[in-house]
Amino acid sequence: MGKIAFLQIGKKGITDNFIGTLENHFEKHRTIRISVLKSARGEGAEGKKIVKKFADEILKRLGQNYKSKIIGFVIIIRKFKKTF
């Protein structure tokens, strides 16, 4: 459970299949590192804005139990501990 899963966002961007894959990975992992490939973003400051939009969309589609952190062109998403 302590390991980190790795995914990539390509030129198709965030699809329903990608969100499904994320949800499946969160069943086994608490942290997922998502690299945004050059084909999905742009260069420089514009690319950083696109990465931020991707992170916001992922959090919106996953729900409230997640938080994200952006480092360069990498999105790190972490699931909160379950509360009873």
Cα 71 off chain centre by: 12
pTM, two decimal places: 0.88
Tokens of 67: 């938080």
Any residues with CB less than 8 A from the CB of 63 and at least 6 apart, and which?
none
pLDDT confidence of residue 43: 78
What residue ranges define each of the domains in the chain, with the CATH number in brackets? 4-79 (3.30.110.60)
pLDDT in tens, 9-34: 999 999 999 999 999 999 999 999 99
pLDDT in tens, 22-80: 999 999 999 999 999 998 887 778 889 999 999 999 999 998 889 999 999 999 999 98
Q: 83 pLDDT exceeds 60?
A: no
pLDDT confidence of residue 2: 64
